[in-house]
Amino acid sequence: MKEALAEEPTRVDSSMLRARMFLVTPDQSSDAKFAQRIKNYKWLTGLDAIAIGRLWLPIDGANAEYSDRARATFARLVENVIHSENTNLLGAAADFKDEAAALRRLMKELPDTPAARNAEQRLAQIGATAP
């Protein structure tokens, strides 16, 4: 995965998305996985329609209509992965001995995002205060 990202560090398509998400691996420490998930989430939330159009990795030999459909499909995929990563971030925070500290970290590093709002809600559920 790292090799694919080294070849195309900024361009996007479903393969590059998969490569980024697979940077979180079971052999990493909880801290390393959490940090990578946060990094991935920041990257994902930066992929709006304009960014996708600018960074799209063209499909060799594809006509314009197919490429447009592929970009639109990718944009929907990004939305779904953001939703999944939201859940994964909360689950990863719950794995820490100090869940509240991990949730506060999410709020600090991912301000004004659904992940931050979910972290704030979870803090309230466990009786902790937001930063």
How confident is the prediction along the chain (131 residues), in pLDDT tens digits per residue?
788 788 888 888 888 999 999 999 999 999 999 999 999 999 999 999 899 988 888 777 667 777 788 889 999 999 999 999 999 999 999 999 999 999 999 999 999 999 999 999 999 999 887 77
Evaluate if pTM is beyond 0.75: yes
The residue range of the domain holding 113 is: 2-125
Alpha-carbon span 107 to 123, nearest angstrom: 10
* Whether the Cβ atoms of residue 118 and residue 93 lie closer than 8 Å to each other: no
pLDDT value at residue 121 = 95
pLDDT value at residue 56 = 86
User: How many domains is the chain built from?
Assistant: 1
- Looking up tokens 């998400």, which residue turns up? 21
Nearest to 74 by CA among 85, 88, 63, 58: 58
Residue 131 domain-assigned (yes or no): no
Residue 130 domain-assigned (yes or no): no
* Whether the Cβ atoms of residue 4 and residue 19 lie closer than 8 Å to each other: yes
Residue 8 domain-assigned (yes or no): yes
Compute CA distances 129 → 9, 13, 101, 112, 115, whole Å: 38, 39, 10, 17, 16
HEC sequence for 12-66 = ECHHHHHHHHCCCCCCCCHHHHHHHHHHHHHHHHCCCHHHHHHHECCCCCCCHHH
